[in-house]
Each structure stands twice: as structure tokens, then as C-alpha cells.
Amino acid sequence: MKTIFDDSEKRAEIEDDKKGGSRFLPFTLWLVAIAFLIGTWSVYRWVANHPAVEPPPPPISLEDVKQTITVIGQFNRYVQDDKWSEAESMLSMAGAQRLKSEQKSLRESLLGDRKDQKVLEAASTPSGDKSPDRVRQDCVYKFYDGQFIIVPLTLIIENGKIVVDSWIDETQPKAEVESKK
């Protein structure tokens, strides 16, 4: 037979079981909060220390003055530093074929009578010409004796890069100009 005390004891046990389950809830919530903070801090540190993604290079274009100036400047540096094999690597296929057919080196073809002299300074001039498929830029090559020559470089796009196609002015013969010193 059941007594009143039995019912009240069972009720007390049920209430204790309910309280016992919620005893671990605050501890679990603290663990979740700490794990969230550590995860957030880790992601922040990774993002802060991770290098930024490089933007894609701009598309190759003869309309972009920066790209054409870079190619002409690099070619002129190779000429000035007597790095003729690197300068030849910047030629188009037609330019390399022209050298083979002439049976000349780039130095002989570019500098003409002054092929045995070292170029003191190589720079581009403000004169030039643009069309949609090619850019012509005049470059001046100064020698140690104070004389210089002006060479028109023609750039085209070939195989996805800007290359030197021609260094001979087809409209007039290559002229050597002496400086006034």
C-alpha cells in the first residue's frame, strides 16, 4: 500500500533528477563560448598573417602605355648592358627570321656601323606612332664618343606577349646623327 510519504519521496527524486541534468548546462555553455572565442581568434590570426591574393595581371594590350614602356625599357637595358642574347629573346618570330636571313647578329643589325662600340646610354624618345596592331617608338643609343643613333622599335603582340618586331624604319634609311658638343 502506498503512503503519502512514498508519493512525496518519488516527487522529490524526480525533481532531483531534473536538477541534476541542468547542473552541467552552465559548464557546457562556458566550454562552447571559450571554443568560439578561440576559433574566432584563430581565424583572425590566419587572415591577418596570410598574404593577400595577387590580382590577376592586366590583359596584354598595345594600348596600355605602361606595358609598352616596360618592354621598350627592358629591351634598351639589355642593349645598354651588352646582354644581346636576352635582347634577342624579346624579338618576334619575324624579327628572328629577319636576322637569320640577313646572317647578322642583333648587335650588327641594330647598331649598323657602330656594332663594335659599346652603348653608353639607351633611352626612348617622345616621338612614336600607334596603330591598333603595332606601336612604333624611337629610341636613342648614345655612345662613349658623344655620338648617337636613333632607332625606331616596332612592337607587336605575339603568342600572348609584347615583342620587338622591327628595328628598321621602312620609310627612310637609318640615319646616324652627331650630337653638338
What's the CATH number where 128 sits?
3.10.450.100
pLDDT tens column, 108-166: 888 888 888 888 999 988 888 888 888 999 999 999 988 999 999 999 999 889 999 98
Q: How many domains would you assign to the chain?
A: 2
Return the pLDDT at 178: 36
- The strand ranges marked E within 24-177 are 119-131, 134-143, 148-158, 161-166, 176-177
Q: 78 and 122: one domain?
A: yes
Q: 31 and 77: one domain?
A: no
Q: 144 and 79: one domain?
A: yes
Decide: pTM greater than 0.85: no
**Which three cell numbers mark 123?**
633611352
157 close to 62: Cβ distance less than 8 angstroms: yes
Kindly state the average pLDDT of the residues 98-106: 89
Q: 42 and 108: one domain?
A: no
Q: 18 and 72: one domain?
A: no
pLDDT tens column, 20-49: 556 677 888 899 999 999 999 999 999 999
Question: Does residue 60 lie in a domain region?
Answer: no
Q: 70 and 15: one domain?
A: no
Q: 9 and 90: one domain?
A: no
Question: 160 lies in which domain range?
Answer: 65-177
Q: Cα 161–158–174 angle (5° rounding)?
A: 100
Return the pLDDT at 57: 82
